[in-house]
Amino acid sequence: MSGWAGRAPPKKGENYELRADLNSEYRDKRKDAIKRVIANMTVGKDVSGLFPDVLKNMQTEDLEQKKLVYLYLMNYAKTQPELVILAVNTFVKDTADSNPLVRALAIRTMGCLRAEKIINYLCDPLQQCLRDDNPYVRKTAALCVAKLYDLKPELAIDNGFIEQLQDLVSDSNPMVVANAVVALTDIHQTALAAAESENPPDPRATFTLDSHILNKLLIALNECSEWGRVAILSSLARYRAVDEKESEHICERVVPQFQHVNGSVVLSAIKVVMIHMRGVGREDLVKQLVRKMAPPLVTLVSSEPEVQWVALRNINLLLQKRSDILQNEMRVFFCKYNDPPYVKVEKLDIMVRLAQEKNVDTLLSELKEYASEVDVDFVRKSIKAIGQCAIKIDSSAERCVNVLLELISTRVSYVVQEAVVVIKDIFRKYPDRYEGVIPTLCANLEELDEPEAKASLIWIIGEYADKIENADELLAIFVETFTEEAYQVQLQTLTAVVKLFLKKPDSAQGVVQRVLETATKDCDSPDVRDRAYIYWRLLSTDPGAAKAVVLAVRPPISLPRTTVSPAVLEELLGEISSLASVYHKPADTFIGRGRVGADALQKRIHDLEDDVSREKALKTVVAGQKSENLLDFDDAPAEGAGGLGVTTNSLAATTLTTGASAITTSNPLDDLVELFGSSGMGAPAAAPSFAQPAAFGSAFSAPPALASTPSPAPIPSASSAQQPQDDLLGLF
């Protein structure tokens, strides 16, 4: 018993005791010892030294003990391949056992051993098990082929296992069909992934769907287990229908799955219908399909919070394509007091999407209710949603403004600040309509301490400088503290003072002089300095041109209907229920296969040069890769980085936060804000009225705000900002 692989066993300690027990003459003691070994393995202790002793207990009639030994083997086979060979005999014997459970267990475990040496012994038993007359063994063997392919593709191909899998698709047992489909799909994807780096994928490894297989799948769909249904539905989603009739047929056969109790079956069915509906021409059928989709979606909203969240993210996508799906169902999305925050935020977004003239009143009273909750983030988002309603529905704007005024009267700091930002947006959409509220806003001047809120109020003051009597006094307050303010507040102050001067040249002479001097001399942001110089020069050479630039008519703002570009939206709708659909980002953006994946993506970006979101995607992948490499930090010692663990934490943490912000920026209001911050300037009220200087600023310097990648949505806004820029170019 001593000295396997030339290692002397320790004389004391836990492993020593375990070794003794593993070799005990009593069966119970041995079994108990195995359990303790597994427990140690779970908590991360190294028990690989006990390999030979555990192995001795493999040959047993006790199925539970056998499973435990197998579990141990799976764990350490990779590090001790030479010892695993000793187990091969028992495995091969077990695959011919009279008990089908033992046969299945043996073949399942052999596939998981992942040791090169044992693989060669796997082929014969696998061959047998694929033809076993027990379906339980066949379905297990089917998956084993995928395991084999993952480890040694050529072995799986040469032995004809893949052809055998294709035969299993026609098996009489639906569970076997499902697993065969799963295995073929997995092999197909592995082959595709491998092909990206070298040559085209091996045709023998690809899973081509034809109408013959389609029929098999549609039949198995109604009979197999819930997970099998998801697998089959995923394959149906890949199938390309030959004609309209076939598309209709698929939709009709898949629709009954909407009634399944498992949410992932429902979402997968919706995915298939969304895809194949593209091929359906009959309007009435499309209408009918969309109508049938609504109730199951609503039902998903009352499932467990995590499933609910996935459903909500997907509903958000579906609404961007078909805003009519849940027209009358807004109440379902009302937030419960005890909903988790991530669910609440998503519900808010969906409610705004569903807002219409007829239901906006209910929505507003609901949003007002939310604004008194304790979760600051949620309160802010609720207030933003009020602004979104105002911008979306003209007739509701007045009611929205009234609600906002009520909220301001609560004098809760963050509520007031957010409300000010939102009202600024409403002013952008409906200029000169709600000037009456300006005194209330100005009364709260001292409450504001956040840059965005300050900047918004300053923008409002500058914009209505001719109508606010004491505008010069108010702005003077900010000029006083100019150097202490955040850059975006400085930029706004600068612009507002210039506006004031252009509107009331007599009273503002002094203040404009002062602000330009401070900005050019004492300010350390090149952005602010540049803008100040441009204003200065404009004002001194041609006040007329200054007027045209600074007081230009701004393009109207609107709520973007989609958060992603139409092409990406189509792609995501084909991925419903997947991670991509949850993140509203194409899969390539977060699933890079190391360097290779990024290269492949780069190539594809080349083809789609104009697609901005792709560009962004690449950045995410690159960022992801950094943490990717770090995630595998147990490889790191080879590179001689001792304290790597610590750096990993902080770096990975950054990825996490950027990930989170990427999700939140898909919120339309953020896009709206971005729209104000013309071409990614970051200053929310730096409206295109001075788009020209703004463009100069960002072209010459890299202010911190520019580093934050704009979300893909504001493409239309960027182009609208472009227009006045072009006009202005003519002036110079």
Partner 1 sequence: MISGFFIFNQKGEVLISRLYRTDLKRSIADVFRIQVVSNSDVRSPIVTLGSTSFFHVRVNNVYVLAVTKCNANAALVFEFCYRFIGIAKSYFGKLDEESVKNNFVLIYELIDEILDFGFPQNSEIDTLKMYITTEGVKSEMAVREESSKITLQATGNVSWRRSDVKYRKNEAFVDVVELVNLMMSSNGAVLRADVDGHIQMRAYLSGEPECKFGLNDKIMLEKSERGAGDSAVELDDCQFHQCVRLNKFDSERAISFIPPDGEFELMRYRSTSNVNLPLRVHPIVTEHGRSRVEYTIAVKANFDPKLAATDVVLRIPTPLNTTKVDVKVSHGKGKYVPGENHLTWKVPRLQGGSEMSLTAMAELTPTTNRQAWARPPIEVDFQVLMFTASGLLVRFLKVFEKSNYHSVKWVRYLTKAEGGTYQIRF
Exposure string over 137-163, b if 16+ CB within 10 A, otherwise e: bbbbbbbbbbbbbebebebbbebebbe
For residue 102, the minimal CB distance to partner 1 (Å) is: 8
Residue 260 binds to partner 1 (criterion: CB under 8 A): yes
Contact segment (CB under 8 A) with partner 1 among 65-73, 500-508, 510-518, 610-618 equals 65-73
One residue of 361, 373, 394, 466 binding partner 1 per CB under 8 A: 373
Per-residue contact flags (x/-) with partner 1 for residues 102 to 121, judged by CB under 8 A:
x-x---x--xx-x-------
Q: Which region among 301-309, 385-393, 483-491, 558-566 touches partner 1 (by CB under 8 A)?
A: 301-309
Rounded to whole angstroms, the Cα distance separating 37 from 50 reads 8
Binding pattern to partner 1, positions 594-633, x when CB under 8 A?
Answer: ---x--------------------------xxxxx-xxxx
For the bound state, the minimum distance from the C-beta of residue 627 to partner 1, rounded and expressed in Å, comes to: 4
Cβ atoms < 10 Å from Cβ of 411: 10
- The answer to whether 40 contacts partner 1 (rule: CB under 8 A) is no
Min dist. Cβ of residue 481 to partner 1 (A): 24
Q: Stretches 31-39, 381-389, 430-438, 489-497: which one binds partner 1 (CB under 8 A)? A: 31-39
Nearer to partner 1, 548 or 587 (CB): 587
| Rounded-to-integer distance, Cα 291 and Cα 295, Å | 8
Amino acid code (one letter) for 357:
E
In the complex with partner 1, the residue whose CB is nearer, 447 or 727, is 447
Total residues contacting partner 1 by CB under 8 A comes to 126
Cα 368 to the center of its chain, rounded Å = 29
Is residue 139 within 8 A of residue 173, CB to CB? The reply is yes
Question: Does 712 contact partner 1 by CB under 8 A?
Answer: no
Instruction: Find the binder of partner 1 among 290, 551, 605, 663 (CB under 8 A).
Output: 663
Shortest distance in whole angstroms from residue 461 CB to partner 1: 26
**509, 649, 661, 723: which one binds partner 1 (CB under 8 A):** 649
| Cβ proximity of 300 and 307 under 8 Å | yes
Return the structure tokens found at 627: 């943490």
Q: For partner 1, give the closer residue by CB, 103 or 429.
A: 103
In this structure, what token pair is assigned to residue 157? 């191909």
Which tokens in the block code for residue 190?
A: 């592995």
Q: Which of 4, 16, 342, 464 binds partner 1 (CB under 8 A)?
A: 342
Helix (H) or strand (E) holding 1: none
State in angstroms the smallest separation of the CB of 682 from partner 1.
23
Contact between 152 and partner 1 per CB under 8 A:
no
137 binds partner 1 (CB under 8 A): yes
| Cβ closest to partner 1, residue 70 vs residue 676 | 70
What residues have CB less than 8 Å from 649, skipping those under 6 apart?
none
For partner 1, the closer CB: 317 or 532:
317
**Out of 62, 116, 158, 394, which residue is the one contacting partner 1 (CB under 8 A)?**
62
Contact 228, 178 (CB under 8 A): yes
Out of 305, 505, 510, 637, point to the residue binding partner 1 (CB under 8 A).
Answer: 305
Residues 544-603, interacting with partner 1 (CB under 8 A): 575, 577-583, 587, 590-593, 597
Q: Is 535 helix (H, G, I), strand (E, B) or coil?
A: helix
Q: How far apart (Å, rounded) are the C-alpha atoms in residues 288 and 251?
A: 11
Task: Report the alpha-carbon distance of residue 719 to residue 547 in Å, rounded.
Answer: 23
Please pick, from the candidates 567, 660, 702, 729, the single residue that binds partner 1 as defined by CB under 8 A.
Answer: 660
Q: Can you tell me the distance from the alpha carbon of 523 to that of 728, in angstroms, rounded to the nearest whole number? A: 27
Report in angstroms the alpha-carbon separations of 677 from 451, 473, 560: 14, 26, 16
Structure tokens at 525: 């942001």
**Of positions 51, 94, 113, 139, contacts partner 1 by CB under 8 A:** 139
- Separation in Å, CA 540 to CA 516, 547, 641: 12, 12, 59
Position of tokens 């009954």?
256
- In the complex, the smallest distance separating the C-beta of residue 242 from partner 1, rounded to whole angstroms, is 23
| Binding span for partner 1 by CB under 8 A among 308-316, 516-524, 693-701, 719-727 | 308-316
Q: C-alpha angle 118/120/122, rounded to 5°?
A: 75
Report if residue 454 touches partner 1, rule: CB under 8 A: no
Task: Tell which positions 263-282 bind partner 1, by CB under 8 A.
Answer: 263-264, 266-268
Residues 394-433 touching partner 1, rule: CB under 8 A, are 410-412
Of residues 186 and 425, the one with the C-beta less far from partner 1: 186
Q: Calculate the CA dihedral of residues 272, 273, 276, 279 and round it to 10 degrees.
A: -170
Contacts of residue 50, defined as CB under 8 A and 6 or more positions apart, other chains included, come to 15, 18, 19, 22, 37
Residues 213-252 as x/- pattern, contact with partner 1 by CB under 8 A: ---------xx-xxx--xx--x------------------
Q: Which of 8, 261, 638, 707 binds partner 1 (CB under 8 A)?
A: 261
Contacts of 36 (CB under 8 A, 6+ apart): 18, 21
Q: How far is Cα 98 from Cα 95, in angstroms, rounded to an integer?
A: 9
Binding of residue 48 to partner 1 (CB under 8 A) = no
Q: Which residues are CB-neighbours of 293 under 8 A, at least 6 positions away?
A: 258, 270, 273, 318, 325
Residue span binding partner 1 (CB under 8 A) among the ranges 49-57, 88-96, 140-148, 506-514 = 140-148
Q: What angle do CA 28, 31, 35 make, to 5 degrees?
A: 135
- Kindly tell me which residue out of 362, 507, 520, 701 binds partner 1, with binding defined by CB under 8 A: 362
Q: How far is the CB of 75 from partner 1 (least distance, A)?
A: 8
- Pick out residues in 76-105 that bind partner 1 (CB under 8 A): 98-102, 104
Structure tokens belonging to residue 277: 């509906």
Q: Residue with structure tokens 């937030």?
A: 335
Per-residue mark of binding to partner 1, 185-214 (x: CB under 8 A): -x--x-------------------------
Burial class (CB in 10 A: 0-12, 13-18, 19+), 287: exposed
